Amino acid sequence: MSIKPPKKFFEPLAIGAPQPYREIPVALERMIHFFPPHVEKMRAKLPDMIAQVDVILGNLEDAIPADAKEAARQGFIEAARANTFGATGLWTRVNCLNSPWFLDDVTEIVAAVGDKLDVIMLPKVEGPWDIHFLDQLLAQLEARHGVKKPIMIHAILETALGVANVEGIASASPRMHGMSLGPADLAASRGMKTTRVGGGHPFYGVLEDTRPDQAVRTLYQQDLWHYTVAKMVDACQSNGIKAFYGPFGDFADDAACEAQFRNAFLLGCVGAWSLHPKQIEIAKTVFSPNVDEVLFAKKILEAMPDGTGAVMIDGKMQDDATWKQAKVMVDLARRVAARDPRLAEAYGL
Ligand code: GLV
Ligand code: MG
Protein backbone atom coordinates (compact mmCIF):
# COMPACT_ATOMS: atom_id res chain seq x y z
CA MET A 1 0.00 0.00 0.00
CA SER A 2 1.54 3.33 -0.97
CA ILE A 3 -1.25 5.60 0.25
CA LYS A 4 -1.74 6.43 3.92
CA PRO A 5 -5.06 4.95 5.14
CA PRO A 6 -7.66 7.67 5.93
CA LYS A 7 -7.76 7.05 9.70
CA LYS A 8 -3.99 7.50 9.97
CA PHE A 9 -4.30 11.10 8.85
CA PHE A 10 -5.89 12.08 12.13
CA GLU A 11 -3.40 10.39 14.46
CA PRO A 12 -0.80 12.77 15.91
CA LEU A 13 2.62 12.15 14.28
CA ALA A 14 4.37 12.21 17.67
CA ILE A 15 3.33 10.91 21.09
CA GLY A 16 2.05 13.90 23.02
CA ALA A 17 1.45 16.14 19.99
CA PRO A 18 -2.05 17.65 19.73
CA GLN A 19 -4.77 15.92 17.72
CA PRO A 20 -4.72 17.15 14.07
CA TYR A 21 -7.60 19.38 13.02
CA ARG A 22 -10.39 17.78 10.98
CA GLU A 23 -11.33 21.18 9.60
CA ILE A 24 -9.27 24.34 9.62
CA PRO A 25 -10.57 26.77 12.26
CA VAL A 26 -12.93 29.44 10.90
CA ALA A 27 -11.07 32.75 10.54
CA LEU A 28 -11.32 35.91 8.50
CA GLU A 29 -8.05 36.26 6.59
CA ARG A 30 -8.51 39.02 4.00
CA MET A 31 -4.89 40.12 4.23
CA ILE A 32 -1.69 38.58 5.52
CA HIS A 33 0.31 41.62 6.57
CA PHE A 34 4.10 41.19 6.40
CA PHE A 35 6.50 42.88 8.82
CA PRO A 36 10.31 42.64 9.08
CA PRO A 37 10.84 41.50 12.69
CA HIS A 38 14.47 42.65 13.00
CA VAL A 39 13.44 46.32 12.60
CA GLU A 40 12.67 47.74 16.02
CA LYS A 41 10.62 50.62 14.62
CA MET A 42 8.32 48.06 12.95
CA ARG A 43 7.99 46.01 16.12
CA ALA A 44 6.97 49.18 17.97
CA LYS A 45 4.09 49.68 15.53
CA LEU A 46 2.73 46.17 16.05
CA PRO A 47 -0.01 46.86 18.62
CA ASP A 48 -1.52 49.34 16.15
CA MET A 49 -1.10 46.98 13.20
CA ILE A 50 -2.61 44.01 15.03
CA ALA A 51 -5.79 46.02 15.56
CA GLN A 52 -6.05 46.79 11.84
CA VAL A 53 -5.26 43.50 10.12
CA ASP A 54 -6.69 39.99 9.98
CA VAL A 55 -3.29 38.24 9.98
CA ILE A 56 0.12 39.59 11.01
CA LEU A 57 3.16 37.71 9.66
CA GLY A 58 6.79 38.01 10.75
CA ASN A 59 8.86 37.53 7.61
CA LEU A 60 12.14 35.65 7.99
CA GLU A 61 12.73 34.72 4.33
CA ASP A 62 13.29 36.79 1.17
CA ALA A 63 13.67 40.56 1.74
CA ILE A 64 15.45 39.88 5.05
CA PRO A 65 19.21 40.30 4.49
CA ALA A 66 21.39 37.23 5.19
CA ASP A 67 23.16 39.03 8.04
CA ALA A 68 19.83 39.88 9.73
CA LYS A 69 18.30 36.37 9.69
CA GLU A 70 19.03 35.62 13.36
CA ALA A 71 17.93 39.10 14.43
CA ALA A 72 14.66 38.65 12.52
CA ARG A 73 14.02 35.29 14.22
CA GLN A 74 14.72 36.76 17.68
CA GLY A 75 12.68 39.86 16.84
CA PHE A 76 9.73 37.68 15.90
CA ILE A 77 9.95 35.74 19.17
CA GLU A 78 10.14 38.99 21.13
CA ALA A 79 7.15 40.43 19.24
CA ALA A 80 5.09 37.26 19.72
CA ARG A 81 5.77 37.37 23.47
CA ALA A 82 5.17 41.09 23.87
CA ASN A 83 1.78 41.34 22.16
CA THR A 84 -1.71 39.92 22.50
CA PHE A 85 -3.32 39.05 19.20
CA GLY A 86 -7.03 38.48 19.92
CA ALA A 87 -8.81 37.50 16.70
CA THR A 88 -5.77 38.47 14.59
CA GLY A 89 -3.78 35.48 13.33
CA LEU A 90 -0.07 35.23 14.16
CA TRP A 91 2.01 33.70 11.36
CA THR A 92 5.66 33.53 10.37
CA ARG A 93 7.29 32.90 7.00
CA VAL A 94 10.35 30.74 7.69
CA ASN A 95 13.30 30.28 5.38
CA CYS A 96 13.07 27.48 2.83
CA LEU A 97 13.84 23.85 3.62
CA ASN A 98 17.33 23.71 2.11
CA SER A 99 18.52 26.99 3.64
CA PRO A 100 20.96 27.25 6.56
CA TRP A 101 18.26 28.98 8.66
CA PHE A 102 15.18 26.77 8.36
CA LEU A 103 15.94 24.35 11.18
CA ASP A 104 16.67 27.04 13.78
CA ASP A 105 13.70 29.12 12.57
CA VAL A 106 11.29 26.29 13.30
CA THR A 107 12.88 24.78 16.40
CA GLU A 108 13.51 28.08 18.20
CA ILE A 109 10.16 29.63 17.36
CA VAL A 110 8.06 26.61 18.34
CA ALA A 111 10.07 26.22 21.56
CA ALA A 112 9.60 29.87 22.50
CA VAL A 113 6.12 30.79 21.26
CA GLY A 114 4.57 27.60 19.82
CA ASP A 115 1.33 28.18 21.72
CA LYS A 116 0.82 31.62 20.21
CA LEU A 117 1.72 30.71 16.62
CA ASP A 118 -1.19 29.87 14.32
CA VAL A 119 0.50 29.19 10.98
CA ILE A 120 3.96 28.62 9.49
CA MET A 121 4.24 29.80 5.90
CA LEU A 122 6.66 27.52 4.05
CA PRO A 123 8.24 28.95 0.89
CA LYS A 124 9.28 27.18 -2.32
CA VAL A 125 7.24 24.03 -1.67
CA GLU A 126 7.80 21.57 -4.53
CA GLY A 127 5.75 18.53 -3.59
CA PRO A 128 3.96 16.70 -0.77
CA TRP A 129 7.32 15.44 0.55
CA ASP A 130 8.17 18.95 1.72
CA ILE A 131 4.95 19.13 3.73
CA HIS A 132 5.47 15.63 5.20
CA PHE A 133 8.87 16.67 6.52
CA LEU A 134 7.62 19.83 8.24
CA ASP A 135 4.51 17.97 9.46
CA GLN A 136 6.60 15.37 11.30
CA LEU A 137 9.08 17.93 12.64
CA LEU A 138 6.27 20.10 14.00
CA ALA A 139 4.65 17.12 15.72
CA GLN A 140 7.96 16.32 17.45
CA LEU A 141 8.39 19.91 18.55
CA GLU A 142 4.78 20.31 19.68
CA ALA A 143 5.16 17.18 21.82
CA ARG A 144 8.46 18.32 23.31
CA HIS A 145 7.20 21.79 24.19
CA GLY A 146 3.65 20.87 25.22
CA VAL A 147 2.00 22.90 22.46
CA LYS A 148 -1.77 22.56 22.87
CA LYS A 149 -3.13 23.20 19.36
CA PRO A 150 -1.65 22.13 16.03
CA ILE A 151 0.46 24.71 14.20
CA MET A 152 -0.83 24.84 10.63
CA ILE A 153 1.22 24.93 7.41
CA HIS A 154 0.62 27.40 4.59
CA ALA A 155 2.58 26.64 1.39
CA ILE A 156 3.78 29.22 -1.12
CA LEU A 157 3.15 28.06 -4.67
CA GLU A 158 6.18 29.53 -6.37
CA THR A 159 8.04 26.87 -8.34
CA ALA A 160 7.13 25.14 -11.58
CA LEU A 161 7.41 21.78 -9.83
CA GLY A 162 5.14 22.99 -7.04
CA VAL A 163 2.48 23.96 -9.58
CA ALA A 164 2.81 20.53 -11.23
CA ASN A 165 2.26 18.94 -7.78
CA VAL A 166 -0.29 21.40 -6.41
CA GLU A 167 -2.95 18.78 -5.64
CA GLY A 168 -0.48 16.57 -3.79
CA ILE A 169 0.63 19.56 -1.73
CA ALA A 170 -2.95 20.57 -0.88
CA SER A 171 -3.81 17.04 0.30
CA ALA A 172 -0.49 16.22 2.00
CA SER A 173 -1.63 16.65 5.62
CA PRO A 174 -4.51 17.76 7.86
CA ARG A 175 -2.04 20.43 8.99
CA MET A 176 -2.47 22.23 5.64
CA HIS A 177 -4.13 25.62 6.09
CA GLY A 178 -3.87 26.88 2.52
CA MET A 179 -1.63 28.22 -0.18
CA SER A 180 -0.49 31.55 -1.63
CA LEU A 181 0.62 32.30 -5.15
CA GLY A 182 4.23 33.56 -5.19
CA PRO A 183 4.41 35.28 -8.57
CA ALA A 184 8.00 36.54 -8.28
CA ASP A 185 9.73 33.24 -7.55
CA LEU A 186 7.31 31.41 -9.81
CA ALA A 187 8.12 33.67 -12.74
CA ALA A 188 11.84 32.97 -12.25
CA SER A 189 11.33 29.23 -11.80
CA ARG A 190 9.23 28.98 -14.94
CA GLY A 191 11.49 31.14 -17.07
CA MET A 192 8.75 33.72 -17.55
CA LYS A 193 10.11 36.94 -19.06
CA THR A 194 9.01 39.47 -16.44
CA THR A 195 10.74 41.46 -13.71
CA ARG A 196 7.57 42.33 -11.78
CA VAL A 197 6.13 41.04 -8.50
CA GLY A 198 2.65 39.99 -9.64
CA GLY A 199 0.25 41.94 -11.79
CA GLY A 200 -0.11 42.15 -15.54
CA HIS A 201 2.32 42.72 -18.38
CA PRO A 202 1.60 45.07 -21.27
CA PHE A 203 2.87 42.59 -23.88
CA TYR A 204 0.82 39.62 -22.70
CA GLY A 205 -2.36 39.95 -24.70
CA VAL A 206 -4.46 39.01 -27.67
CA LEU A 207 -4.40 41.21 -30.76
CA GLU A 208 -7.82 41.70 -32.27
CA ASP A 209 -8.37 40.55 -35.86
CA THR A 210 -7.88 42.86 -38.82
CA ARG A 211 -11.09 44.50 -40.05
CA PRO A 212 -11.48 46.32 -43.35
CA ASP A 213 -13.16 49.29 -41.61
CA GLN A 214 -10.56 49.71 -38.89
CA ALA A 215 -6.90 50.65 -39.29
CA VAL A 216 -5.83 50.33 -35.63
CA ARG A 217 -5.89 46.93 -33.94
CA THR A 218 -6.17 46.75 -30.16
CA LEU A 219 -4.04 44.43 -28.01
CA TYR A 220 -6.27 43.23 -25.15
CA GLN A 221 -4.12 42.62 -22.12
CA GLN A 222 -4.66 39.21 -20.43
CA ASP A 223 -4.05 38.06 -16.85
CA LEU A 224 -0.69 36.25 -16.63
CA TRP A 225 -1.77 34.54 -13.40
CA HIS A 226 -5.20 33.28 -14.35
CA TYR A 227 -4.19 29.68 -15.04
CA THR A 228 -2.17 29.28 -11.85
CA VAL A 229 -4.68 30.97 -9.56
CA ALA A 230 -7.53 28.85 -10.97
CA LYS A 231 -5.50 25.65 -10.61
CA MET A 232 -4.53 26.58 -7.04
CA VAL A 233 -8.14 27.39 -6.09
CA ASP A 234 -9.35 24.00 -7.38
CA ALA A 235 -6.60 22.16 -5.48
CA CYS A 236 -7.37 24.09 -2.28
CA GLN A 237 -11.16 24.05 -2.35
CA SER A 238 -11.31 20.35 -3.21
CA ASN A 239 -9.22 19.69 -0.08
CA GLY A 240 -11.03 22.03 2.30
CA ILE A 241 -8.17 24.54 2.52
CA LYS A 242 -7.86 28.21 1.48
CA ALA A 243 -6.29 29.89 -1.56
CA PHE A 244 -4.64 33.34 -1.44
CA TYR A 245 -3.15 35.68 -3.97
CA GLY A 246 0.38 36.63 -2.77
CA PRO A 247 2.37 39.86 -3.15
CA PHE A 248 1.82 42.85 -5.42
CA GLY A 249 5.10 44.71 -5.71
CA ASP A 250 4.26 48.01 -7.41
CA PHE A 251 3.34 50.19 -4.41
CA ALA A 252 2.79 53.16 -6.75
CA ASP A 253 -0.03 51.46 -8.67
CA ASP A 254 -2.91 50.90 -6.26
CA ALA A 255 -5.45 50.50 -9.07
CA ALA A 256 -3.49 47.59 -10.58
CA CYS A 257 -3.08 46.03 -7.14
CA GLU A 258 -6.83 46.26 -6.58
CA ALA A 259 -7.55 44.74 -10.01
CA GLN A 260 -5.18 41.82 -9.37
CA PHE A 261 -6.63 41.18 -5.89
CA ARG A 262 -10.16 41.36 -7.29
CA ASN A 263 -9.48 38.80 -10.03
CA ALA A 264 -8.19 36.46 -7.34
CA PHE A 265 -11.24 37.11 -5.11
CA LEU A 266 -13.68 36.47 -7.97
CA LEU A 267 -11.87 33.22 -8.82
CA GLY A 268 -12.16 31.92 -5.24
CA CYS A 269 -9.24 33.30 -3.22
CA VAL A 270 -10.03 34.54 0.29
CA GLY A 271 -7.19 37.03 0.75
CA ALA A 272 -3.83 38.40 -0.38
CA TRP A 273 -0.59 39.64 1.14
CA SER A 274 -0.13 43.25 2.17
CA LEU A 275 3.49 44.39 1.96
CA HIS A 276 2.72 48.10 2.37
CA PRO A 277 0.23 49.55 4.88
CA LYS A 278 -1.90 51.01 2.08
CA GLN A 279 -2.48 47.51 0.68
CA ILE A 280 -4.33 46.66 3.92
CA GLU A 281 -7.23 48.91 2.91
CA ILE A 282 -7.15 47.61 -0.67
CA ALA A 283 -7.45 44.05 0.61
CA LYS A 284 -10.27 45.02 2.99
CA THR A 285 -12.19 46.60 0.13
CA VAL A 286 -11.66 43.72 -2.27
CA PHE A 287 -12.00 40.69 0.03
CA SER A 288 -15.08 41.93 1.89
CA PRO A 289 -18.02 41.08 -0.33
CA ASN A 290 -19.76 43.92 -2.13
CA VAL A 291 -22.76 45.30 -0.18
CA ASP A 292 -25.23 45.13 -3.10
CA GLU A 293 -24.17 41.57 -3.88
CA VAL A 294 -24.65 40.54 -0.24
CA LEU A 295 -28.11 42.15 -0.13
CA PHE A 296 -29.05 40.29 -3.32
CA ALA A 297 -27.62 37.02 -1.96
CA LYS A 298 -29.72 37.48 1.20
CA LYS A 299 -32.82 37.84 -0.98
CA ILE A 300 -32.01 34.51 -2.65
CA LEU A 301 -31.59 32.73 0.70
CA GLU A 302 -34.85 34.23 1.99
CA ALA A 303 -36.76 33.28 -1.17
CA MET A 304 -35.61 29.64 -1.00
CA PRO A 305 -35.63 28.71 2.71
CA ASP A 306 -34.72 25.05 2.15
CA GLY A 307 -32.30 25.75 -0.70
CA THR A 308 -34.26 23.90 -3.40
CA GLY A 309 -36.55 24.72 -6.30
CA ALA A 310 -36.55 27.63 -8.73
CA VAL A 311 -37.66 31.25 -8.26
CA MET A 312 -37.26 34.52 -10.17
CA ILE A 313 -35.73 37.53 -8.38
CA ASP A 314 -35.42 40.85 -10.22
CA GLY A 315 -35.81 38.96 -13.51
CA LYS A 316 -32.99 36.52 -12.73
CA MET A 317 -33.43 32.76 -12.42
CA GLN A 318 -32.43 31.25 -9.06
CA ASP A 319 -32.12 27.58 -8.20
CA ASP A 320 -30.23 25.23 -5.87
CA ALA A 321 -26.89 26.24 -7.42
CA THR A 322 -27.41 30.00 -7.09
CA TRP A 323 -28.60 29.36 -3.50
CA LYS A 324 -25.18 27.78 -2.83
CA GLN A 325 -23.42 30.77 -4.41
CA ALA A 326 -25.51 33.10 -2.25
CA LYS A 327 -24.59 31.08 0.84
CA VAL A 328 -20.84 31.44 0.10
CA MET A 329 -21.35 35.20 -0.10
CA VAL A 330 -23.51 35.54 3.04
CA ASP A 331 -21.29 33.23 5.13
CA LEU A 332 -18.28 35.41 4.25
CA ALA A 333 -20.28 38.58 4.93
CA ARG A 334 -21.09 37.26 8.43
CA ARG A 335 -17.39 36.71 9.18
CA VAL A 336 -16.61 40.23 7.94
CA ALA A 337 -19.54 41.68 9.92
CA ALA A 338 -18.18 40.13 13.13
CA ARG A 339 -15.01 42.27 12.74
CA ASP A 340 -16.36 45.36 11.02
CA PRO A 341 -19.37 47.13 12.58
CA ARG A 342 -19.69 49.53 9.61
CA LEU A 343 -20.06 46.66 7.14
CA ALA A 344 -22.26 44.71 9.56
CA GLU A 345 -24.75 47.58 9.36
CA ALA A 346 -24.48 47.89 5.57
CA TYR A 347 -25.02 44.14 5.12
CA GLY A 348 -27.88 44.18 7.64
CA LEU A 349 -26.20 41.30 9.52
C1 GLV B 1 6.67 35.50 -3.04
O2 GLV B 1 7.32 34.95 -2.20
C3 GLV B 1 7.02 35.51 -4.42
O4 GLV B 1 8.07 34.93 -4.75
O5 GLV B 1 6.26 36.10 -5.21
MG1 MG C 1 9.04 34.00 -3.05
Residue 102 belongs to a domain: yes
- Do 217 and 304 lie in one domain? The reply is no
* Res 298 pLDDT > 80: yes
Report the nearest atom of ligand 1 relative to the CA of 186. Answer: 4
Radius of gyration of the chain (CA): 22
Domain boundary among 287, 319, 335: 287
Same domain, 206 and 72: yes
- Provide the pLDDT confidence category of residue 6 given band limits of 50, 70 and 90: confident
What is the mean pLDDT of the segment spanning 302-324? 92
157 domain-assigned = yes
Residue 264 scores a pLDDT above 90: yes
Write down the pLDDT at residue 4: 85
Mean pLDDT score, 272-290:
97
Residue 1 maps to a domain: no
Residue 185 CA to ligand 2 center (angstroms) comes to 5
7-11, 19-23, 185-189, 201-205: which has the minimum mean pLDDT?
A: 7-11
Average the pLDDT over each of 39-43, 69-73, 84-88, 209-213 and give the range with the smallest value.
209-213
- In terms of Cα–Cα distance, which of 283, 289, 270 is closest to 333? 289
Q: What is the mean pLDDT of residues 245-256?
A: 97
3-state secondary structure 110-158: HHHHCCCCCEEEECCCCCHHHHHHHHHHHHHHHHHHCCCCCCEEEEEEC
The yes-or-no verdict on residue 120 having pLDDT over 90 is yes
- pLDDT tens digits for range 218-235: 999 999 999 999 999 999
> Is 250 in the same domain as 228?
yes
Residues 283 and 322 in one domain: no
Q: Is 156 in the pocket of ligand 1 (CB under 6 A)?
A: yes
Over range 186-203, report the average pLDDT: 95
CATH number of the domain where residue 103 is located: 3.20.20.60
Please tell me the predicted confidence (pLDDT) of residue 2: 77
CB of 184 within 6 A of ligand 1: the answer is yes
Burial class (CB in 10 A: 0-12, 13-18, 19+), 204: middle
- Kindly report, residue by residue over 171-183, the tens digit of the pLDDT: 999 999 999 999 9
Q: Ligand 1, residues 59, 62, 232: which to mutate, most atoms within 8 A of Cβ? A: 62
- Rounded mean pLDDT, 117-143: 98
Same domain, 55 and 138: yes
Where does a domain end: 287, 303, 325? 287
Alpha-carbon gap, residue 322 to 327, rounded angstroms: 8
Choice from 154, 186, 192 to test ligand 1 binding pocket (greatest atom count within 8 A of CB): 186
Asked whether residue 271 falls in the same domain as residue 332, the answer is no
CA distance 19 to 107: 20
The pLDDT value recorded for residue 68 is 98
Query: Could you give the number of structural domains in the chain?
Result: 2
Instruction: Judge if 272 and 301 occupy the same domain.
Output: no
Contacts of 224 (CB under 8 A, 6+ apart): 183, 192, 194, 199, 200, 201, 204
pLDDT value at residue 3: 81
pLDDT bracket for residue 98 (50, 70, 90): very high
Looking at ligand 1, which atom is closest to the CA of residue 188?
4
Q: Domain range spanning residue 21?
A: 6-287
Q: Which atom of ligand 1 is nearest to the CA of 156?
A: 2
Domain shared by 139 and 203, yes or no: yes
